[in-house]
């Protein structure tokens, strides 16, 4: 088939690579978000998908909005058979959805209908799910509600951050998306409507959502930290300043600390929660680089009676 691939961040690159490497389909063009300011100089930088497409000599389309007439005209001119999508980052209007003969097929990082929305991996980790996966589905105008072509499953490991899990899903999902394109071309793959039960929503995680509440149980604190790493980054406050929490570890044997109460040992920092303590392993103070929590605690000299949060 002739394909137009839509995607923007690094997590979409393995799928683009898989489609290029398959040699079975022609990736005629790539659709991605416009260049965005990045770094200290805030200079405009192309998306990871745009960079990869340019390396491969593939035409790159960067519409401000997918309903832009120039973009729709070019897409009509290319006349793709199907448009595979991974984390493109913009809503597709009906007029765009109708252009490819086989529609737009999205690779979504959850087992639909669970965790429809922008942040399925973060929500799966924060909810304590043991199994997640990826699904390919036909895009409709509803939120991740279209019929499903295929799935792959992935275990969520006890120490997984959302970044760890998303990396594994990006590669597992790349193979799934390529196989889905093959099945659509062969006519052997039919999309199956999602069940009406088991729907859960995964809206974008905000900075406010990422604040650790020390009165919640240790397992919840651990899940919030892992689910919000690397983005947007879990945090608490200390002496009125934000302290980023990069890695923590539940310590079930320690139950003598009140929520938010720190206990600094020679090489450890324990903090009380609503159940038992967690050990802070890596933190990042405002304006500083990430550091071991024990080094941070020695530097700030935590006093008796001080609290986090």
Detail the residues annotated as belonging to a binding site for (6S)-5,6,7,8-tetrahydrofolate.
110-113
Residue 128 region by backbone torsions, left for phi larger than 0, else alpha for psi between -120 and 50, else beta: left
Is the N-terminal amide bond of 195 cis, ω within 30° of 0? no
CA atoms within 13 Å, Cβ hemisphere of 69: 0
Buried b (16+ CB within 10 A) or exposed e, 51-71: ebbeeeebebbebeebeeeeb
Residue 204 Cα to chain centre, angstroms: 9
Residue 226 to residues 58, 79, 105, 197, 215, Cα–Cα distance (Å): 36, 43, 30, 28, 18
Helix (H, G, I), strand (E, B) or coil at 155: strand
Burial of 304 (0-12, 13-18, 19+ CB in 10 A): exposed
Residue with tokens 């790493």: 229
Q: Quick check: helix, strand or coil at residue 286? A: coil
- The 8-class DSSP code of residue 191 comes to -
Known binding site: residues?
110-113
């Amino acid at each position: 088939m002739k394909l137009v691939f839509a995607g923007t961040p690094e997590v979409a690159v393995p799928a683009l690579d898989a489609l290029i490497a398959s040699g079975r389909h022609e990736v005629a063009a790539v659709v991605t978000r416009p260049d965005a300011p990045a770094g200290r100089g805030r200079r405009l930088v192309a998306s990871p998908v745009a960079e990869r497409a340019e390396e491969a000599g593939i035409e790159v389309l960067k519409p401000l909005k997918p309903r832009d007439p120039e973009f729709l005209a070019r897409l009509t001119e290319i006349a793709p058979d199907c448009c595979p999508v991974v984390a493109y980052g913009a809503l597709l209007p009906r007029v765009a959805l109708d252009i490819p003969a086989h529609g737009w097929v999205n690779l979504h990082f959850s087992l639909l209908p669970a965790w429809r929305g922008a942040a399925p991996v973060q929500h799966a980790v924060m909810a304590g799910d043991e199994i997640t996966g990826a699904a390919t589905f036909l895009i409709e105008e509803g939120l991740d509600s279209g019929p499903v072509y295929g799935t792959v499953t992935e275990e969520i490991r006890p120490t997984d951050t959302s970044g760890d899990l998303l990396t594994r899903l990006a590669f597992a999902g790349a193979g799934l998306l390529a196989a889905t394109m093959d099945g659509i071309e062969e006519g052997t793959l039919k999309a199956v409507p999602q069940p009406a039960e088991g729907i859960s929503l995964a809206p974008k995680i905000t900075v406010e959502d990422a604040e650790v509440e020390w009165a919640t149980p240790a397992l919840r604190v651990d899940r919030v930290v892992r689910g919000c790493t690397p983005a947007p980054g879990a945090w608490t406050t200390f002496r009125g300043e934000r302290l980023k929490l990069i890695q923590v570890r539940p310590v079930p044997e320690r139950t003598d600390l009140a929520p938010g109460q720190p206990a600094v040992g020679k090489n450890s920092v324990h903090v009380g929660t609503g159940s038992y303590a967690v050990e802070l392993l890596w933190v990042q103070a405002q304006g500083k680089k990430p550091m071991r929590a024990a080094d941070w605690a020695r530097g700030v000299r935590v006093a008796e009676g001080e609290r986090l949060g």
